[in-house]
Amino acid sequence: MTQQLIDNLKEIVGEEFVKENENMAKHCTFKCGGNAALYVIPGSIDELVDTVKACRAENAPYMVIGNGSNILVRDEGYDGIIIEVNSRVNTIDVIGEEIVADAGAKLSAIAMTAAVNDLGGFEFAHGIPGNVGGAVVMNAGAYGGEMKDVIKWVEVLDKNGNVRKLDISELDMGYRTSRIAKEGMIVLQMCIGLFIGTSEEISLIMQMLMQKRKAKQPLEFPSAGSTFKRPEGYFAGKLIEDAGLKGYRVGGAMVSEKHCGFVINYSNATATDVLQVINDVEKTVKEKFNVTLEPEVKII
């Protein structure tokens, strides 16, 4: 990337929000990985759009991330621009029975906002450790609910630099995928439709789901949540356990003994350690059961 581009990005978002050679272990929930050549943090949707357009104008490699809860950056790092859409682009507005939220808004914050305003239907997302952008792209879900169940429309930046509002019927949302993912669009904002309930009942459901999550998942260790997508007709965690891989370790990375669907950083793991565990699990499950596991985690 050129110095001119760096200067342009500083002009767009402010000098303090452009960081060179940034350690990505600080920005992903795996707590490991290499550095990004440039790390940019826009402060609004307009700044996000202008940042992406500036990168595209110079054909500079870039990637947009949110809370870093579903990524793993290789130890070699990323020789491009990481654009963080997180706490600086996180407005949440309640409009009747709808909530409009920016791409950087946390799902947990939206769920709490819904509860306070007596709006039900988003309880499933309370414990998902991600933001709107990533959740929409991959149609995040848990405990019987998915983003496609509540989304009404999404505002995106398409590959041609156009800001577009897409209705749910145009999003082609499936299991951990969407049209947005397939066409490389960038989520800017979403609107979800909920229903009137009572804050007490809604909060109770969220508490129950969180207790289930804590009981079954290794939340005490750094990870990216479920490491693998659910193969059709199977459960990834059970396949991995049946393959004898519970507690399987490489360096500081391990298949969780609490939930085999999670690869965790249990002791200062490197990204290489994590990737080796993922690869070994895929190979062993394929050999033993002829089932192909596909990572849910995005490797950068």
Chain-centroid distance of CA 190 in Å reads 15
Which residues fall within 8 angstroms of residue 78, CB to CB, at 6 or more apart?
24, 34, 35, 36, 37, 61, 63, 300
Whether 176 is catalytic: yes
* Annotated catalytic residue, options 108, 178, 223, 226: 226
Q: Among residues 47, 84, 155, 296, which one is catalytic?
A: 296
Task: For residue 125, give the nearest of 77, 136, 26 by alpha carbon.
Answer: 136
CA distance 65 to 127: 19
- Of 176, 178, 223, 256, which is the active-site residue? 176
Has 226 been annotated as catalytic? yes
* Cβ neighbours of residue 178 closer than 8 Å, sequence gap 6 or more: 136, 137, 138, 139, 171, 172
**Which tokens go with 234?**
């199977």
User: What are the catalytic residues?
Assistant: 176, 226, 296
